[in-house]
Amino acid sequence: MKRRILGKTGLELTELSFGAGAIGNLYAPVTQQAAHDVMEVSWASGIRYFDTAPFYGHGRSERRVGDFLRGRSEYVLSTKVGKLLTPVSNENIPDYGFVDPLPFAVHFDYSYDGIMKSFEMSLARLGLNRIDILYVHDLEPSGFSEAEYNHHLTDFLDGGIRALNELKDRGYIRAFGLGINQVSACLNVLSRADIDVILLAGRYTLLDRSAELALLAECRKRNVALVIGGVFNSGILAVGPKEGACFDYQPASSDILQKVGSIQETLKVSDVDLAQAALQFPLQSDLVATVLIGSAKASSMLRNVKLLSPSVPSSVFETVEKFTLHQ
């Protein structure tokens, strides 16, 4: 599998990478064997970059990823900081969409001490002695009240960024950045802090190009790389404009269904599959190091890997631009 350099970090990422949210039992139970199988298929397909987070399954995803990678070499691993896990009784486990999560609650902490503690706890859950990339998880206004967001942002800028720089300077990590969904939140941090990479979900896709103008220009100016997740916009670009198809985790509106239908029909003229175009679209930019794909099924992951070829000509993406979102 082809590899790309992650901006100014020197890290090499495979063009397709494995996102471990689903194997944290997101929305559905996943057996230990199934989790191993989907990572094994990913590895056998050439994928060498794996991304996880404490939040996924309240630690379950990190444990599974660590168990799989232990004893292997030449991989790149990322996890996230900003959400600390604290033990709770079984009857008090909060519901964040993970089935049968481990018995922990999640608390936001973007401070110096919070990020240092999160890093150490992740190493312990992973059972590994290194993490290559740390993403600051969900530091965006949509997840908080205005006062809460300003508080967490201040904690990060006053101390969290110093923790990440210290970890990098000491050689404990190779890179750090944001793991986020909102373009405005990315721009807000970029104007105040020097980071290496943004893991951006759902905002630079075949359908939603919200990041294309301001954010990509700012990333190029500051030599910040992009890892792109959510390329199917939570489903609709994988299954097409079917009734009940989801866009951004909600049933797609009639307007979105119509736009995707127009994109699909336009692609057919060039004999290009919708899902294939969706997966390959972000890789048109040299700022994008990898496309992050999450799945709990080996068969689905293998199907996604096959979408990498043949290459879709760049001219094809231009033909569908008029149907895309640029808000």
Q: Which residues are catalytic?
A: 51, 56, 80
Are 116 and 134 within 8 A, CB to CB? Answer: no
HEC letters along the chain: CCEEECCCCCCEEECEEEECCHHHCECCCCCHHHHHHHHHHHHHCCCCEEECCCCHHHHHHHHHHHHHHCCCCCCEEEEEECEEEEECCHHHCCCCCECCCCCEEEEECCCHHHHHHHHHHHHHHHCCCCCCEEEEECCCHHHCCHHHHHHHHHHHHHHHHHHHHHHHHCCCCCEEEEEECCHHHHHHHHCCCCCCEEEEECCCCCCECCCCCHHHHHHHHHCCEEEEECCCHHHHHHHCCCCCCEECCEECCHHHHHHHHHHHHHHHHCCCCHHHHHHHHHHHCCCEEEEEEECCCHHHHHHHHHCCCCCCCHHHHHHCHHHCECC
Q: How far apart are CA 202 and CA 28, in angstroms?
A: 21
CA distances from 39 to 17, 45, 55, 85 (A): 10, 10, 19, 25
